[in-house]
Amino acid sequence: MFDVKDTIAQAIHKQLPELSREQIYDMLEYPPNPEMGDIALPCFKMSKTLRKPPVQIAHELASNISNVEFIDKLEPVSGYLNFFFNKSLFVEQTLKRILEEQERYGSQPIGQGKTIVIDYSAPNIAKPFHVGHLRSTVIGNSLRKIFEFMGYRCIGINHLGDWGTQFGKLIVAYKLWGNKDEVEAHGIKELLRLYVKFHEEAENDPKLEDEARDWFARMEKGDSEALELWQWFKDISLKEFQKVYDLLDVHFDSYAGESFYNDKMDAVIEELRKKNLLKESEGALIVDLEKYGMPPCMILKKDGSSLYATRDIAAAIYRKKVYDFHKCIYVTGAAQSLHFQQWFKVIELMGYEWAKDLVHVPFGLVSLGGEKLSTRKGKVVLLEDILSEAIKKTLEIIESKNPDMENKEEVARYVGVGAVIFSDLYSNRIKDVSFSWDEALNFDGETGPYVQYTHARCCSVIRKAPEHDNCFNPALLVTKEEYQLCKTLYQFPEKVMIALNQLEPSVITRYLVDLAQDFNRFYHEHPILVEDQQLRTARLALVKATRITLANGLKLIGLKPLERV
């Protein structure tokens, strides 16, 4: 595999055996200015280890390193060692690799024989699928695609919030203020109305909360009326959720929600007892985590009903038995970080060495105009409404610019939904997001439609080209735009690896914008389908490599690479 960074790291390692090749590889960086070389080694971090000033280290390395493949020149400058590539050889090897590997470009088979379980989306039954659920859904879906691209077997689990006191609240509200016809006619919107109504009324009548707890306790004890209503609410919700998943093109291997673990919790509680981990506190059962700097992890309430932690512990043990995972990843909001730390610690205290393989992937809060989303107060923006509006806006643009386009409704769906997904994945996942209709439906600048359009532009150029093969003369690709595009293409496998290691899809999303910008600069500065056959073939190789890389990257973040936009 062509990896010039690795070649440089090995050459430096021979001179500095105190540092591993991996350490050196991670130190190498891409200078912001091409005048400063193609790759640079900052010598400041190693100064303490080597007990020499950075400037001296850079000069000594420049003097001692020679005959490195792909490198024309080394230049020490102010504590940096700058490497200049043999441009023709670099261009040739980069483009050849992409054209040979095609849809596998950027992947490595590092996950062979390993299973990754990813728990994502997980909306609450009987509550609407709103914009706050978008982040978990699209971040989890992208992580799944990245892991699969790298050879892992992935199990996508939608751990539905289909159990808990909220169902007691909904049953109370339905019995007091609801009716079957209204629920059948309006589905989840009517369930939301009832849920909001319950909380409004409960502020003046706290007894309603007691009634809700009572109904949930009846559910846990198998009461037929309670379970019949719960199942009805669940069926209505899943039907609504599926509409959104179909629009997002998101799929799961399991919809085993919290209720699935009802018959598995007694064994967990018994195991906690046998291992002397349970303590009684004001009638409830807890695991004391004070010595680990955390509040207690509550396992059973004083009325005997279970909590999130109980069900999460049961779920993790079940998943380990069934899937024997290498890692089990949970994609939820950062506000739940303490909850995960607590029950991860309980799993560890139970003696399970695989507790270290449980990973929480937190993301920032989604607010609405600066206000926190709240289902109980009705402050939500339905995700289906956002996606429908994005599709509608895209179709209007197509109708005005290209009314004769084939399959324009399908294209509008892929571009509109892609815009919403891309907008969410563009920010670092831990960053808080304030939802704005204008931003979600903005198709200009660093957006999904811009990248999809760039991919379609590559496809258009290739379609218009005369018959040609992939044999090209790299020495003809000499302009700064061509070379910069090639350097960006080369970085894709590295970006995928960073995204995987950091569990951060935004690394790929931002890379795609950089690649699209570099391609469009090249496209506008240099005609591609020129008379000169050799130059045309060389530039077409660059276009094909860009198309392949854009397509691979778009798929990793859950967008469809379109051939016509």
Provide the CATH number for the domain around residue 214.
Answer: 3.40.50.620
Instruction: Name the CA dihedral angle for 121, 122, 123, 125, rounded to a multiple of 10 degrees.
Output: 150
Give the whole-number percent of the chain exceeding pLDDT 90: 75
Which residue, among 182, 122, 130, has the nearest Cα to 377 in the 3D structure?
130
Same domain, 245 and 206: yes
CATH number of the domain bearing residue 8: 3.30.1360.70
Q: Is the pLDDT of residue 221 over 60?
A: yes
- The pLDDT confidence band at residue 49, using thresholds 50, 70 and 90, is confident
Domain extent, residue 552, equals: 419-428+437-556
pLDDT of residue 369: 60
Same domain, 62 and 166: no
Q: Are 540 and 462 in contact (CB under 8 A)?
A: yes
pLDDT of residue 446: 86
Whether residue 186 is contained in a domain is answered as yes
Same domain, 358 and 474: no
Which of 53-62, 115-124, 298-307, 494-503 is least confident?
A: 298-307
524 is catalytic: no
Q: Is the pLDDT of residue 192 over 70?
A: yes
Catalytic residue among 5, 87, 133, 487: 133
Same domain, 441 and 346: no
Bridge partners (DSSP) of residue 331 are 361
pLDDT tens digits, residue range 457-496?
999 999 999 877 778 999 999 999 999 999 999 999 999 9
Q: Is 44 helix (H, G, I), strand (E, B) or coil?
A: coil
Same domain, 333 and 461: no
pLDDT of residue 442: 67
Q: Are 560 and 414 in contact (CB under 8 A)?
A: yes
Same domain, 172 and 321: yes
Catalytic residue among 5, 87, 127, 495: 127
Whether residue 230 is contained in a domain is answered as yes
pLDDT of residue 367: 67
Q: Is 283 helix (H, G, I), strand (E, B) or coil?
A: coil
127 is catalytic: yes
pLDDT of residue 378: 53
pLDDT tens digits, residue range 51-101?
999 999 999 999 999 888 889 999 999 999 999 999 999 999 999 999 999
Work out the end-to-end distance of the chain between its first and last CA atoms, rounded to an integer number of angstroms: 34
Whether residue 142 is contained in a domain is answered as yes
Rounded to 10°, the helix 188-202/224-248 angle is: 120
Where on the phi/psi map is residue 113: left (φ > 0), alpha (ψ -120 to 50), or beta? left
Catalytic residue among 5, 87, 130, 544: 130
Mean pLDDT over 254-259 rounds to: 92
130 is catalytic: yes
> Which pair of structure tokens corresponds to residue 324?
């024997």
Same domain, 60 and 125: no
CATH number of the domain bearing residue 503: 1.10.730.10
What is the domain count for the chain? 3
Whether residue 276 is contained in a domain is answered as no
Same domain, 77 and 119: no
78: DSSP letter = T
Same domain, 208 and 326: yes
